[in-house]
Amino acid sequence: MAKHMEDHPEDHPKEFCGLFGVYGLKNPAATIYRGLFSLQHRGQEGAGIVVGDGTDVRSVRGLGLVSDVLNKQSWPQLTGHLGIGHVRYSTTGSTRIQNVQPIIVECADGVWCVAHNGNLVNAGPLRRMYQDSGAIFQTSTDSEILVHLLADPMYRRRPQRVARALAELKGAYCFLIMTKDCLMAARDPLGFRPLSIGKLGSAWVVASETCALQQTGATYVRDVEPGELVYFDETGMRSVMVGEGPAPKLAQCVFEMVYFARPDSTVFGHGVHAVRVKFGERLAEEFPVEADMVIPIPDSGSAAALGYSRRSGIPLDYGFIRNHYVGRTFIMPLQEDRVEGVDMKLTLLPEVVRGKRVVVVDDSIVRGTTARRRVERLREAGAKEIHMRISCPPIAHPCFYGIDFPTKDELIGGARTVEAIREYLGADSLGYLSLEGMMSPFKDQKGFCSACFTGKYPVDPTGMMGKHELEMTTPELQFLPPTAKVD
């Protein structure tokens, strides 16, 4: 029986979700909390934990940051030896409590808990199919599709039911799936999103990024392979392949390396910080300029700025200082919050840039409004010249695999030339890292998805639904107060 305790313009893309799970650890809530805290950069809209003890499953979920939702007062109630956690930014579904994960349902064979990172391109047709047959959905996210597949008698009565259900999904996914006594971790055959396995003593740990393993003291073992479903239970760890296993050509998201992943993570076998430094070095080769200093847009542009400085010989300094009490404004769900957060997030140091020729290094430009505001502030502070350098190519196409990029018309890289963007920003020069330069740190350059730069989609997105379209038949639900318990 499930027991629930429910709490009631950054110029970057919006995504994302972070997953953390454990098996075989006594009272794992504190460890899951630390893991989710280190993944907060992947989502700050909502957070949740589900813990099982072999008989009961208990959860705490709510809107807000990990530290707001999952406070220590809840931990004594979350007893058990396995659990999963989730931090959310919505790429499908609006900001409301029933969309906060993990999703918990009771099926004919017991409780199932699901946490998801990614986007399913065939969620719409599958949802309509189940609704037409009488199924009831409790969320407006694509993640709930897997729950209905698992509960479907066609899969429930067959061997390898979870793997067979996963094989019906198209698009990008990493899933953590939990029953009362088993933890499962799955990754789509194209490997869009990262998912890693670690050991903490005799316990197993699974996380979206290796920084979460480090944060909890776990030792990295390996990644969940593309197309792999891994089981953790009292017998240990074992795995099966989903469908036909990994695709002939992988589509690992290169934007993980550009922006999303924390610099202290290893993603797709590459140290993120080292890759970003190489981006900056290559950027200096492709777009040299005479200047007095290189300044990063912290924190995402810091490593590339370091690389640019090293290769160009131009000193690195800090013209902007980040306020770390303002979160990643790109994942704030409301546009007005993102706009307000821009100036709050970064403080300009006029004495550093006054009268200087500055190279400003950032990771990306999406709409251009934030970058333009920063150029304006540098001008106001007396910067003599402003040369913008971006450590990826222009983002010209929407993403359908878990990044909430706008439509092509809203993307400044899709609607304007580089020169037109430079004029809009008000910079003296603008240089984007070439596609070849972005891919240069990787041996297997064909194993990455770069659709947001090239428009070449590895999975056909035809019929992909918008962020809020799954809500068309989903009424608003009223939830109990934060302290209420439901047995």
Cα–Cα distance list, 189 to 78, 169, 229, 268, 432 (Å):
33, 10, 10, 14, 31
347, 323 contact by CB (below 8 A): yes
Annotated catalytic residue, options 17, 113, 211, 392:
17
Q: Rounding to the nearest 10 degrees, give the CA dihedral for residues 49, 51, 57, 59.
A: -20
Q: Domains in the chain, ordered, with CATH?
A: 2-251 (3.60.20.10), 271-443 (3.40.50.2020)
87 closest CA partner among 97, 102, 76 = 102
The Cα 20–Cα 481 span in angstroms is: 26
pLDDT for the residue numbered 451: 96
172 closest CA partner among 250, 64, 289, 262 = 250
Q: How much is the average pLDDT of 92-112? A: 81
452 is catalytic: no
Q: How much is the average pLDDT of 173-195? A: 97
Look over the chain and give the mean of its residue pLDDT values, rounded to a whole number: 87
Surface-to-core class of residue 23, CB atoms within 10 Å of its CB (0-12 exposed, 13-18 middle, 19+ buried): buried
268 closest CA partner among 356, 381, 191 = 191
154 confidence band (pLDDT: 50, 70, 90) = confident
For residue 480, pLDDT over 70 is answered with no
Check residues 452 and 91 and name the one with the higher pLDDT: 452
**Tokens 């390396």 -> residue:** 257
pLDDT for the residue numbered 487: 30
pLDDT for the residue numbered 183: 98
- Which SS3 state, helix, strand or coil, does residue 70 take? coil
438 closest CA partner among 193, 191, 209, 255 = 255
Q: How much is the average pLDDT of 30-57? A: 94
Go through 398-414 and write b for each residue having 16 or more CB atoms within 10 A of its CB, e for each that does not: bbbbbbbbbeeeebbbb
pLDDT for the residue numbered 323: 85
- Which SS3 state, helix, strand or coil, does residue 186 take? strand
pLDDT for the residue numbered 188: 96
Check residues 236 and 474 and name the one with the higher pLDDT: 236
In tens, the pLDDT along 297-354 reads 998 899 999 999 999 999 999 999 988 766 544 444 454 555 555 667 899 999 999 9
Phi, psi angles (nearest 5°) of residue 29: -60, -45
Surface-to-core class of residue 148, CB atoms within 10 Å of its CB (0-12 exposed, 13-18 middle, 19+ buried): buried
Cis, peptide link before residue 102, omega less than 30° from 0 = yes
Check residues 210 and 12 and name the one with the higher pLDDT: 210
> Which range, of 140-149, 263-272, 452-461, 474-483, averages the lowest pLDDT?
474-483
pLDDT for the residue numbered 109: 86
For residue 473, pLDDT over 50 is answered with no
pLDDT for the residue numbered 2: 44
Q: Which two tokens stand for residue 44?
A: 């700050």
Q: Which two tokens stand for residue 399?
A: 């993403």
pLDDT for the residue numbered 247: 82
In tens, the pLDDT along 342-388 reads 667 899 999 999 999 999 999 999 999 999 999 999 999 999 999 99
